[in-house]
Structure 1
C-alpha cells in the first residue's frame, strides 16, 4: 500500500474533523430563544438603560423614567462614540480605521442601538447611596454634546448631584488608543457616610440575524478572565443556562466577534464579582461588580475602570489585562499559533506584504523540516523496493499470521527501513496546518490585507479559485513522482481524484492559508526531486518497485 497517499486521506479526515469540531464548539448553532422570550424582547428593546446591579439583590430591572436623555458625540483618531447622558452609557461606537467591508468607505460599527439590535457598554454606582440604586438610572449633565480629540488626551466629563454626593463621571481618551479610562470622582458634601459600589457590564442581543459559514466564522459571545482562569468563553447559550457568578481579584469581561472585542477591565487590585444574565428575553449581559466603599463626610474618592473597544491587537490587549490577549482565539493549538504569528509579523515588518511573509514563513518551516522530509521520502522509496520481498513473505505465511508479523519486522530491521517513516513529517505538519488556519482566520492584522493581483484579502477565500486549482495541480504532480502501488480499483480511483477533492475543499479556505499550502507543495516537489536524484545515484530506485 502506498503509505503517503493513504496517510493523506487520513490526514484530510482528521483535519476536517478538528476544523469541524472547533467550528461547532465556537460557532455552531445555539439553542433557539423560546417564543415567550422573543415576545418579551419586543417590549424591551429600549429597556437596557433600566438595568442596574444592586450590591445585595443582584441585577434587576426598574421602571424607565420619563426624563429625556441626550447623546454626547466623541471623536478621536481611532474611535467615534455616542454616550447617553442617561447613566453615562456608551450606546454607539464606530472604528474609523477599519472599513466595514473590503474597499468600502463605511467604517466598521461595533456598538449600536439600531433596528431592534442593541450592543452597549454600561457602568454605574449602586449600593445604598449609588444613583443607580433607586428606581431609575441617573441623568447626568454635560457642558457640551460634541467633543473632538485635538491633542494627546481628551476628557469628557458628565456631572450629577445625588443626595449630597457630588459625582463627576469622566471618560479619558488617548490618541491612537482604543482603551478608555472611565473614572468616578466622588465628593461627599453631606454630613453622613455614603456607600457606593461600582459596576460595569456589556449588553448585546443574542440574535442579530447574522450567520456563520464553516470556513469564515462570525463568532459572537462573551468571555471573561479571573485570577484562577486567564481566559474562558461564556457564550450566549451558557448565559441562558446559568448566571455566571465568580469572585476574583482584578479580572475582566468581554464580548467577542471575529476580529473585534469590547471589554471592561475593573481595578486590578480590587475584589470583583463577575456576573452574567439574560435581560429582556433576548439580551445577553456580562459584567463585573466591585466592592462597596464608604465615603466619609467631606471625603473625596476616585473609582476607575478601563473600557476597551477595538481590534484584537494581542500586544495591546496583553498590556491591559492578564489573558485578555487570548480573545484572539487560536483554539487548542494556541501555543503553536502564537509563535507562528509572532514570526509572521516579524517577517512582514521587513517585507511589507503579508502574502510575501506567508511565502517566507513557509520556506522557513519547510527548511526546518527538511531532515524529516528526507527520512520520509527515503523510507517510501525503500518500502517500494522491498515490495517484492514483502509479497513473498505474505505468500509464504498467508495461512500463519503469527509468523508473518515477526518475519516482516525482521525484514524491516535487516533492510533498515521504518514502515512508519513516511508518516512522521505529515504528523508534524498537521498541527502546523491547523495552527496557521486559526492564525489566518483570527488575526485582525490579515483582515483585508492584500497580496497581489486578484488576491486583495488574505483572510478571505480566493475569489477566482486560482490558488486552490494550482494547489490541486501541485498535488497531482507530487502523485506523478510517486506512482500508485495499490492494485485495488476503488483505491486507485480514490487516489486519482484526491487532488480534485482537496482543491474543492480549499475553495472556502482563507486565501492566505491556501497560499501557504501551495507554496509548501511546490517546495516539497523541489525537495522530492533533489532527494530522489541523490537516492538514484546510490542505486536506490525511487519510481518503481
Structure 2
C-alpha cells in the first residue's frame, strides 16, 4: 500500500506540475515582466530628469512630437486609401510610414482603428522604405531624406498606383511606381535610367524599421513578437524568430536566402518584406543606435547589377503590412509563392495540434456564427476522439470505487506488512481487471490540447473581440465578470476598493466562468475514487479551490472549453458509475431530498 500511495503521489505531482507550469509561463511570468518593464521605464524617466537637472552638457534623449498631424506635416504626402488600409506615403524618402488597419479597432468599444505604421518624429516610429545602394555613384542614389516628386496619380488605391521620380543631376533618373492590392500588400517598382556616360553598380534594398520597442510589445511568453523571417532555398526553407528582448541583445543576425521573407511581427500584426522569390538576397536583423534610442531593422539587399550608359535596371519588391489572418497569409503564400508565410502566426511547438484545432474552430464558426458555440463543439469533438480511452479509464475508476471496502479490509488485515498490502492490492486489481493509473491518463493527454487551444485563442486574430453569452465581450480576454460585485448586479468596480483593489482585480479576481470551472472540477474530483492516503485525500479535495484561482486569469474561451469539458466528463462518469452500480455524489445529493419512509 505504501508503494501504491507513492505512485499516486507521483501521478498527482506530475499532473499538477504540468498545469502549474503552464500557468507560470503564461500568466505569472508575463505579469512579472510587465511590472519590471514599468519599473525600468519609471526608473529611466527619473534618471533622465535627474541628469537633466544636474547638467545641461550631458547627452540629451531624443525629443518626439506627440501630435501626429505635426509629424505628418514635415513633408508632402500621398494619401493611401483601400478597403482595408488608410494613411499616407511620405515624399521625403518615399517611405510608407503612416498606416491604419480600418477593419480592426484598438479597443473593442471605440472607433479608433489599429495603428500599424507611425511617421518619423514620433516616439516608436515604425515604417518601411525601399531604394538603391551603391558606392561611388556620381550624384548619389535616393536616400531617406531625398524628396521625391509626384508625377502621376493623386491617391494610392488598388485601382490607382502613383509614380514618383527623382533626378540626381548627374545623369541618373530614378522612377518609383507604388501600388497596393485590396488587402495588405504594396508593390514598389524601382527603375533607374542611366543617361550619363559612365556605368554604375547598384543593388536594391528594402527595410522595415522600428524606433524602440513599444512598452506593451514582447511581454508575453506564449506569443512571439519581434523579428521573424523564412530563409533558405526551395525545399530547405526554415523560419527564424527572435523575440524583442533577444533581438536587442544580438545586434546583427544575417541570413543568405533565395527569396523568402522577413519583417517585424507583433501579436496580431505584421510588416514583412517580400523580395522576388527567384532572386538571391542577403538579409539581416539589425539594431542600431539612433539619437539615443535603439532602432530595430529588418533589411534585405538584392543582387548587385551594373547599369551601362543608356541602360536601365528595374526591381520590384513587395511589402506586407497588415493583419496575420490565416486565410489571408495562406492566399499570399500561394499567389506569391512565399515559403511558410502562414507561419507568421506563432502556432507554437504543438503546431500539429494548434493548426487542426484552429481549422475546426474556424469551420464550425462558419456554420454556427459564434466562436463560443464553436468552442463547445470542439470540446465535444475532443471528447469523442478520446472517448474509448476515457471510457476505459472511468470504468476502472468506478470499479476501484466499488472495491474500497475490500481495499480497507486488506489494509486492516496486513496493517503491519506494507509489502503484503501492496501484493494483495495488486492481485485484487488484476482479478478485477483494473488499471489504477488509467484515471490520470485522459487528463495528461488533454494538457497538450489545452495548451494548443490556449495558443489558438491567444495568437489568432479570428478570436479577438469575439463575444459569447452576453457578458463575455472577448473570448481571447479574461472573464470580465466578478464575484466581488455579484457579477455586475452591484454598480461598483472592485479595482477601486482602497488597499485591496489590486488584489480583487488581480490574483483574487473570480468571474462566473472560473467559478463554474471550479464547481465542475470539484464534482468531477468527488466522483473519482478517494485516495487511500488521508493526506493525499485532503490535497485532492483542496485542489479545485486552488485551480479555480489559477484558471481565473486565463482567456474566457479556455474556461468555456474546460468547464464544458468537465460537464461532459461528469455526464460520462455518471453513466458509467450507474452501469457498475458505484456510489456517486450526484445520487447522494438528490437522495437527501427524498422523504424517508414512514
TM-score category by the smaller chain? 0.7 to 0.9
Per-residue Cα deviation, 1:360-389 (whole angstroms, up to 9, x for no partner): 111111122111111111111223344455
Counterpart for residue 251 of structure 1: 260
Separation in 2 of the partners of 1:513 and 1:131? 61
Separation in 1 of the partners of 2:475 and 2:311? 56
Q: Structure 1 residue 286 and structure 2 residue 298: aligned?
A: yes
Question: Does the Cα contact within 8 Å between 2:258 and 2:278 map onto a contact in 1?
Answer: yes
Counterpart for residue 18 of structure 1: 22
Question: Does the Cα contact within 8 Å between 1:4 and 1:423 map onto a contact in 2?
Answer: no
Q: Residue 350 of structure 1: which of 367, 370, 374 is its match?
A: 367
Separation in 1 of the partners of 2:275 and 2:263? 12
Separation in 2 of the partners of 1:231 and 1:87? 30
Q: Structure 1 residue 42 and structure 2 residue 61: aligned?
A: yes
Q: Secondary structure of 2:118's match?
A: strand
By how many angstroms is 1:26 displaced? 13
Separation in 2 of the partners of 1:419 and 1:533? 20
Separation in 2 of the partners of 1:475 and 1:4? 19
Q: Secondary structure of 2:478's match?
A: coil
Counterpart for residue 141 of structure 1: 149
Counterpart for residue 63 of structure 1: none
Question: Does the Cα contact within 8 Å between 1:475 and 1:521 map onto a contact in 2?
Answer: yes
Question: Does the Cα contact within 8 Å between 2:217 and 2:225 map onto a contact in 1?
Answer: no
By how many angstroms is 1:25 displaced? 9.2
By how many angstroms is 1:357 displaced? 1.0
Counterpart for residue 230 of structure 1: 238
Structure 1 segment 417-436 matched on structure 2, within 5 A? 417-436=434-453
* Unpaired runs of at least 5, structure 1: 47-67
Structure 1 segment 36-75 matched on structure 2, within 5 A? 42-43=61-62, 69-75=75-81
- Bigger drift between 237-246 and 490-499 goes to 490-499
Question: Does the Cα contact within 8 Å between 1:236 and 1:284 map onto a contact in 2?
Answer: no
By how many angstroms is 1:349 displaced? 0.9
Per-residue Cα deviation, 1:381-424 (whole angstroms, up to 9, x for no partner): 22334445555666677777777666654443333221221122
Counterpart for residue 280 of structure 2: 271
Separation in 2 of the partners of 1:72 and 1:491? 70
Structure 1 segment 430-509 matched on structure 2, within 5 A? 430-464=447-481, 465-482=511-528, 484-486=530-532, 488=534, 491-509=536-554
Separation in 2 of the partners of 1:298 and 1:404? 97
| Alpha-carbon distance change, 135 to 185 in structure 1, aligned in 2, over 3 angstroms | closer
Separation in 2 of the partners of 1:493 and 1:403? 26
Q: Structure 1 residue 530 and structure 2 residue 575: aligned?
A: yes
By how many angstroms is 1:185 displaced? 2.5
How many residue pairs align between the two structures?
A: 516
Q: Structure 1 residue 517 and structure 2 residue 529: aligned?
A: no
By how many angstroms is 1:209 displaced? 2.9
| Alpha-carbon distance change, 3 to 348 in structure 1, aligned in 2, over 3 angstroms | farther
Separation in 2 of the partners of 1:327 and 1:12? 32
By how many angstroms is 1:534 displaced? 1.6
Report the TM-score, using the length of structure 1 for normalisation.
0.84
Q: Residue 310 of structure 1: which of 296, 312, 322 is its match?
A: 322
| Alpha-carbon distance change, 16 to 283 in structure 1, aligned in 2, over 3 angstroms | farther
Separation in 2 of the partners of 1:335 and 1:44? 47
Separation in 1 of the partners of 2:192 and 2:395? 75
- Bigger drift between 322-331 and 443-452 goes to 322-331
Report the TM-score, using the length of structure 2 for normalisation.
0.77
Separation in 1 of the partners of 2:219 and 2:524? 31
Per-residue Cα deviation, 1:38-64 (whole angstroms, up to 9, x for no partner): 987824869xxxxxxxxxxxxxxxxxx
By how many angstroms is 1:342 displaced? 0.6
* Unpaired runs of at least 5, structure 2: 49-57, 66-73, 482-510, 588-598
- Bigger drift between 203-212 and 327-336 goes to 203-212
By how many angstroms is 1:238 displaced? 3.0
Separation in 2 of the partners of 1:131 and 1:476? 77
Counterpart for residue 93 of structure 1: 99
By how many angstroms is 1:312 displaced? 0.7
Q: Structure 1 residue 195 and structure 2 residue 201: aligned?
A: yes
Separation in 2 of the partners of 1:130 and 1:332? 51
Question: Does the Cα contact within 8 Å between 2:224 and 2:346 map onto a contact in 1?
Answer: no
Q: Residue 120 of structure 1: which of 109, 124, 127 is its match?
A: 127
| Alpha-carbon distance change, 146 to 521 in structure 1, aligned in 2, over 3 angstroms | farther
Question: Does the Cα contact within 8 Å between 1:26 and 1:219 map onto a contact in 2?
Answer: no
Question: Does the Cα contact within 8 Å between 1:125 and 1:131 map onto a contact in 2?
Answer: no
| Alpha-carbon distance change, 135 to 112 in structure 1, aligned in 2, over 3 angstroms | closer
Counterpart for residue 337 of structure 1: 354
Q: Structure 1 residue 153 and structure 2 residue 159: aligned?
A: yes
| Alpha-carbon distance change, 100 to 265 in structure 1, aligned in 2, over 3 angstroms | same
Question: Does the Cα contact within 8 Å between 1:224 and 1:231 map onto a contact in 2?
Answer: yes
Question: Does the Cα contact within 8 Å between 1:535 and 1:542 map onto a contact in 2?
Answer: no
Separation in 2 of the partners of 1:191 and 1:161? 15
- Bigger drift between 117-126 and 398-407 goes to 398-407
By how many angstroms is 1:248 displaced? 1.3
| Alpha-carbon distance change, 453 to 480 in structure 1, aligned in 2, over 3 angstroms | same
Question: Does the Cα contact within 8 Å between 2:224 and 2:243 map onto a contact in 1?
Answer: no
Separation in 1 of the partners of 2:93 and 2:374? 47
